[in-house]
Structure 1
């Protein structure tokens, strides 16, 4: 069985049933595994996961099931359903908390048994059929979500990647130019770099053949010895020379990290979507490029266009800032990958293709972010870039999603255009930047509402009311002279208070007559409580006292707590003589609380 790794290599994982006491059971599961792989395109990782599930379960059967040699999916004895349940129960103990692997292993084994049960000529015990049709009994696990890169870290990543792109372009351009000046080393010498580059560029000699003709460590001339890194052991001298030669003509794995960073930053796409691109996924236009992105995990295909500048280079070899031009980046990758693809006869040309020497053989493979000594962390160390938090390329994708969220002002339907809204909320909305922004928005909205609605009224005594006519009083209170005249004449009297502008209520839209007067006047910054409002204030206070007896404390505090506090403070500002006079006025004139009909309905409910 053959599976494909992330860098395009073919692997053939195998399993020998004779390694287990339950060889017959292992053979049955292995047969389903092989047929499953033949009927579907399995990655090397998926194929290995199936093999791991079979191996672990068969080891469990050997250790815990009596008469394991007789175990079979088609026989009721020994009871494999019980063995499966017990194995599933013990799986999480072998992995870290929140690991997704136990559920994945149990799921793979369930797929194989279900597949066998669906075959008409392959018997499966009834207990196993019931197990396969039930719940797995394991949760999928939960991992700690990664936070996005800070803006400063992302800026440094892109800056270093852009500088590396310029260096790579210059290096390979020099290498091909030097190779053009070389000749066949068999006739013109194996000690000249130009001749060796000519041999590799024209595929005239293999790297193994070149290694056989290279001078030994002690006979190696200075031009060749200079390209060997300091500290290299003599037995690795030829390999280092070959590695240097190949890197003068083709990109290596560490180089492609820079292009992955730039293309992810330019497109906002994930590492998986970017590194899987081929020439068939790209369509160049006069001022744009259209790219078909494929996300294998989500089984989605998205077509997206990116505009480009008319003059991509602008005549500058070293522009001041990185130019995240998607068309220019994809074109540069195609130019780097095409010679390798032709040499390896790979069609269509993958954008992320690299060459390596291992140990003396030139190997052409797809980019892999997990290659030993050539991971993202190695790229950061090589370029002297440090970032806060985990070193994970997925954080760059999340940085792009945060920027998109800010650009679209939080409209999830627009932000989640390349996946589901549920995925955005589960994997991206938790980011620090979005949490801080959301917190600031909420705090600002609350502060504005509190400032507008809960600052309460301005309470004026008789002396303060008389001083309204004095110069400067209007500016001190934020009123115009016309508003002061209207206040003193009672034209703005709302009952429990006077209002400087009933059409600018914090509880309604500007231009709309206040919808909550006078029940919320004691919570409004527009209210001015004059001495003439004291009788209505007292009546309103009595009404709230009665209402407090009819509502639960929690409900009363939520609805009328702030009004109760403000009205009590307004009454305390009056003298005992003023309160007594107001009470007498209420009794003698038969005054009642002036509330609209809707307020009475609310109070009675």
Structure 2
């Protein structure tokens, strides 16, 4: 060999093996090899969330490129199953960004690169359709096409690059990572997470560890959010000064009301019994456009309610009604049905002065104030 070529051989190579080492290096420059295919398999698994054998078996006939998406046919030999899955992609005409605004793996771009790199080798040896994972194997002095070598493991690929992972280095753990991402995205709904196999398989192989923590955390968060919304999204309580300032400029916008609604609020046109209502036809307890079906029994738990000083006599009567209900119902049932209403009405009454409460009691005694409750409010029993 000429000295210029011998210099290309790896250091320490024996002279008799230098020619084969140089040719093998040149072949690796022209075509993909095991190390390259291992890296592309990792990228495609991370981009699609599919199993290693599903990704490695793909050919150009399994891939259909669209203007903004790519559809891939995956085959799972063990389950004898075939599934089509679409992934968004910017398309070949879009500029390729080396540094995108946010990290993402483009399954379509990965497939395009693999087909582009493997097509010359496949055409040279008449292989059709072009496999995505094709390499040039060197059997001196012959170069032959081959698939990804099973002896080239994920653990070996990590060692070559000086990388380490916690636990056993198994490429199938990438699949489990994608399942965790699905568990987070779908809030733990097993029917959505197990979209490429059975729910039983998901429970047996994936529904533990991080996935269970995500499901449990989602359930706890949903419960906490529900009760926090009930506790926080209650009525707006206005004092004397606040009621007098309703007519001032900017008050309507601060309360999220229109000028017309403020006028109706001040004149009592929106009075629902124990409070006034922002919009009786937009109740969170009924359909849109339907007159609130639960007023006035649930007004003290409603975000649409505005409690004015003039509502104090009705609030006192409603508090008395809840006291009577508490005697008829079990503590557990009363707390579940009326606990939040009682807390809200008690705190609203506490905000009034003793003189205001005494004046309201006199109005009730003189028959100037009454509380109109539906019949169902008087026939509630402990089941």
Note whether the superposition's TM-score is higher than 0.5: yes
Note the C-alpha offset of 1:567.
Answer: 0.8
Match of 1:271 in 2: 52
1:253-332 superposed matches below 5 A? 253-264=34-45, 268-277=49-58, 282=62, 293-302=74-83, 320=98, 324=109, 326=111, 329-330=114-115, 332=117
What does residue 556 of structure 1 align with? Answer: 334
Q: 1:575 aligns with which of 342, 345, 353?
A: 353
Q: Deviations over 1:200-226 (max 9, x none)?
A: xxxxxxxxxxxxxxxxxxxxx523432
In structure 1, the partner of 2:298 is 520
Q: In structure 2, which of residues 354, 358, 367 is the aligned counterpart of residue 589 of structure 1?
A: 367
Q: CA 1:407/1:524 → structure 2, altered by over 3 Å: closer, same or farther?
A: closer
Root-mean-square deviation (CA, aligned residues, Å) is 5.1
Alpha-carbon offset, residue 257 of structure 1: 1.4
3-state DSSP class of the match of 2:109? Answer: coil
Partner of 1:582, secondary structure, is helix
Following superposition, the deviation at residue 307 of structure 1 comes to 10
CA gap 1:337/1:547 in 2 versus in 1, 3 angstroms: same
The structure-2 alpha-carbon separation of the partners of 1:351 and 1:506, relative to structure 1 and needing over 3 Å to count, comes to closer
Larger radius of gyration: 1
Distance of 1:594 and 1:320 partners within structure 2:
69
1:367 alignment partner in structure 2 = 148
1:538 and 1:571 in contact (8 A); partners too? yes
SS in 2 for 1:561: helix
* TM-score of the two chains, using structure 1 as the length reference: 0.48
Q: CA deviation at 1:568?
A: 0.8
1:454 matched to 2:216? The reply is no
Quick one: distance in 2 between partners of 1:497 and 1:385?
66
Contact persistence 2:32–2:117 (CA under 8 A) = no
More divergent stretch after superposition (435-444 vs 493-502) = 435-444
Distance change in 2, residues 1:432/1:512 (3 Å): farther
Shift of the 534–376 alpha-carbon distance from structure 1 to 2, 3 Å rule, reads: same
How far off is 1:324 after superposition? 1.1
Matching residue of 1:205: none
Match of 1:485 in 2: 263
Higher relative contact order (CA 8 A, sep 6+): 2
Cα pair 2:32 2:118 within 8 Å, conserved:
no
The alignment of Structure 1 onto Structure 2 pairs a total of residues equal to 375
- How far, CA to CA, are the matches of 1:301 and 1:508 in structure 2? 45
- By how many angstroms is 1:506 displaced? 3.3
Q: Report the Cα distance in structure 2 between the residues aligned to 1:402 and 1:455, rounded to whole angstroms.
A: 33
- Tell me, in whole angstroms, the C-alpha distance in 2 between the residues paired with 1:385 and 1:535: 74
Q: Which residue is 2:102 aligned to?
A: none
Q: How does 1:15-94 map to 2 (within 5 A)?
A: none
Structure 2 vs 1, CA of residues 472 and 603 (structure 1 numbering), >3 Å: closer, same or farther?
farther
Shift of 1:457: 2.4
Aligned to 1:532: 310
* Aligned counterparts of 1:494 and 1:525: Cα–Cα separation in 2: 14
- CA distance in structure 1 between the aligned counterparts of 2:289 and 2:16, rounded to whole angstroms: 87
* 2:9 is equivalent to residue 228 of structure 1: yes
Q: For 1:151-190, what per-residue CA distance to the aligned partner results, in whole angstroms no more than 9, with x for missing partners?
A: xxxxxxxxxxxxxxxxxxxxxxxxxxxxxxxxxxxxxxxx
Q: Which range moves more in the overlay, 479-488 or 431-440?
A: 431-440
Q: Does the aligned pair in 2 maintain the 1:453–1:506 contact within 8 Å? A: no
Aligned match of 1:333:
118
Post-superposition Cα deviations, 1:434-487, rounded to whole Å, max 9, x if no partner, equal 987996899599759855873332333445444444555444544444333323
What CA distance in whole angstroms lies between the structure 1 residues aligned with 2:319 and 2:194? 52
Contact 2:114–2:133 (Cα < 8 Å) also in 1: no
Larger helix proportion of the pair = 1
Displacement of 1:512: 2.9
